[in-house]
A and B are shown apart, each in its own frame.
Chain A
Amino acid sequence: ETGVTQTPRHLVMGMTNKKSLKCEQHLGHNAMYWYKQSAKKPLELMFVYSLEERVENNSVPSRFSPECPNSSHLFLHLHTLQPEDSALYLCASRKEEGGTYEQYFGPGTRLTVT
């Protein structure tokens, strides 16, 4: 596979469940990002990992827990979510050297919390 992949593409979970979202990039990048995209709201940056170290946590509730075991993989662990957490969760990656700043996005996981 090429590019940035995300699994699952769709997820329905109850408020008491625990689930994880997975992101994998095949681009040789060294920075990875989680974004939340809700209807009628701007794209929200949640977490940033650079060289597998978390460098950004934008006041995200603790019910969202990221993990970056290596530069190709990124997870978002979910527990005791709320209905307002229903959204499209997008993963992105970037190569930090070379002066280019564009990020490459995965297709997203559509999360519904019931």
Chain B
Amino acid sequence: GDSVTQMEGPVTLSEEAFLTINCTYTATGYPSLFWYVQYPGEGLQLLLKATKADDKGSNKGFEATYRKETTSFHLEKGSVQVSDSAVYFCALYSSNTGKLIFGQGTTLQVKP
């Protein structure tokens, strides 16, 4: 079935460091892909999305490119801030099941 795999966390970075959180997926067809972020004590917020191959989603300095050839949607940010500390979830919309399929989440901790 359709699935999403994220890199294991936690990821600990210093402020202004470069961030990459890897995400790969298994799905039939061309699923829409998403990154959600969950700040402490809050629900999930949609961070960015891409709906077709080679699309780049971007928001708040974060970017992710839909790579069909490698079935990946890695999240990147050039310079992280302490306020980016959160749990990040990669997800896809499964046309097979009509559901959002989430990865297990990656915790990011940014230190001053």
Contact = CB atoms under 8 A, between A and B. Distances in A.
Interface residues of B, number: 18
Contact of B43 (A45, A102, A108): A108
Q: Which residue, of A6, A100, A102, has the highest number of chain B Cβ atoms within 10 A?
A: A102
B93 interface: yes
A106 B46 CA distance: 11
Q: Which residue, of B45, B49, B100, has the highest number of chain A Cβ atoms within 10 A?
A: B100
Contacts of A102: 32, 34, 46, 49, 93, 100
B8 to A, nearest CB: 12
B100 A42 contact: no
Contacts of A100: 32
Contacts of B24: none
Given A102-B49, A107-B42, A43 B93 contact: no
B89 interface: yes
B58 interface: no
B71 interface: no
Nearest to A40: B104
Interface in B25-44: 32, 34, 36, 41-44
Interface of A: 4, 6, 42-43, 45, 48, 56, 90, 92, 100-108
